[in-house]
Amino acid sequence: ERKAALAASSGPGATSDGHKVPLLANVGGPGDVAAAVEAGAEGVGLFRTEFLFLDDSKKAPAHDKQVEAYRKVLEAFPEGRVVVRVLDAGADKPLDFLTPADEPNPALGVRGLRTLLDHPDVLRTQLTALAEAAEGLPVYLEVMAPMVADRIDAKAFADACREAGLQAKFGAMVEIPSAALRARSILQEVEFLSLGTNDLAQYTFAADRQVGAVSRLQDPWQPALLDLVAASAEAAKAEGKSCGVCGEAASDPELACVLTGLGVTSLSMGAASIPYVRATLAKHTLAQCERAAAAARAADTADDARAAARAVLSGE
């Protein structure tokens, strides 16, 4: 039965009553593109560009090498959306030549956009390479920064994009609670939000994502995390802008329904999860997703939130 449901699952992501929720793929490089196309991804919602920087521990990859890699991913989705995240170095993704070696708390230190603002040459090369890679292609390029904390960060990133001559939408990842709480202020500088729920959980619960002993607090069903998702989605709606999810949360089919009910406008996940999320979304109306979201937020624990949403979605 499960196989039949998946075989029937194709086409754009939508609830049973036709509310569209584009299903996008998370990719880590050109090698992931075939699986994304095969799964029917409507584009890429998170292109992690760190892979390019792993070959050389002393310097950033040359402009031309970057252009080539970006172009391969952009070409795979003609007419589709491709959301590229600029380099997210530091913490769980350290790079020798960029990441300070002596920080007591690397997850709270110079990482993500903070690293790039300290190394504007690295950011500029990446942005000009993206501009060149997108030249002449019909793709909808969107570029976003990891670890945006506030409006000052968002403006610095948008300024860098404009200075590099990038013809694209600029966005901010919401991975820090401050960004979710003040999403409307961040949206004065950028055109879209994308929730990185892995880091957002880490920073909301002060629970290192690399420490198994605190994994209970990394559960994306935590109602506090759902509250921050809701705040971000509401802010985006009020500003007439989009707010996707690209963290692991989007790959759980029932949670994907809850995120949709919270007002999230697209879901990006590993390609293998797309058919499952598409099939589950297609079985529920938007109103049901909204009721499931409200039930989950009314719970006190992640387990209770999951059970409450499941009860609504199964029509109990």
Between 196 and 261, whose beta carbon lies closer to ligand PEP?
196
Between 48 and 151, whose beta carbon lies closer to ligand PEP?
48
297 is known to lie in a ligand binding site: no
Q: Per the structure block, which two tokens stand in for 247?
A: 């963290």
Min dist CB 87 to ligand PEP, Å, is 11
Residue 248 in contact with Mg ion, rule: CB under 5 A:
no
CA gap 80, 268 in Å, rounded: 13
Tokens 């968002």 sit on residue: 154
Contacts of 148 (CB under 8 A, 6+ apart): 113, 154, 157, 172, 173, 174, 175, 176, 179, 186
What phi-psi label fits residue 99: left (phi over 0), alpha (psi between -120 and 50 degrees) or beta?
beta
Min dist CB 66 to ligand PEP, Å, is 18
Tokens 């909301």 sit on residue: 204
Our answer to whether residue 289 is catalytic in this structure is no
Q: Per the structure block, which two tokens stand in for 77?
A: 């989705």
Task: Identify residues 154-213 at the interface with Mg ion (CB under 5 A).
Answer: 175, 196, 199
Min dist CB 18 to ligand PEP, Å, is 28
Between 188 and 210, whose beta carbon lies closer to ligand PEP?
210
Residue 114 touches which of Mg ion, ligand PEP, none (CB < 5 to 8 A by kind)? Answer: none
Check if the beta carbon of residue 209 is closer than 8 Å to that of residue 216. no
CB hemisphere CA count around 30 (13 angstroms)? 12
175 is known to lie in a ligand binding site: yes
Check if the beta carbon of residue 286 is closer than 8 Å to that of residue 17. yes
Q: Per the structure block, which two tokens stand in for 173?
A: 């990842």
153 is known to lie in a ligand binding site: no
Residue 208 touches which of ligand PEP, Mg ion, none (CB < 5 to 8 A by kind)? Answer: none
Between 90 and 275, whose beta carbon lies closer to ligand PEP?
90
Min dist CB 98 to ligand PEP, Å, is 16
Catalytic: which of 161, 246, 257, 289? 246
199 is known to lie in a ligand binding site: yes
Contacts of 79 (CB under 8 A, 6+ apart): 138, 139, 140
Point out which residues bind ligand PEP (CB under 6 A). 46, 48, 88, 175, 196-199, 246-247
**Which spans of this chain sit near Mg ion (rule: CB under 5 A)?**
175, 196, 199
- Please give the annotated binding residues for Mg(2+), written as ranges: 175, 199
Q: Which residues are annotated as a binding site for phosphoenolpyruvate?
A: 48, 85, 198-199, 209
Residues annotated as part of the active site: 246
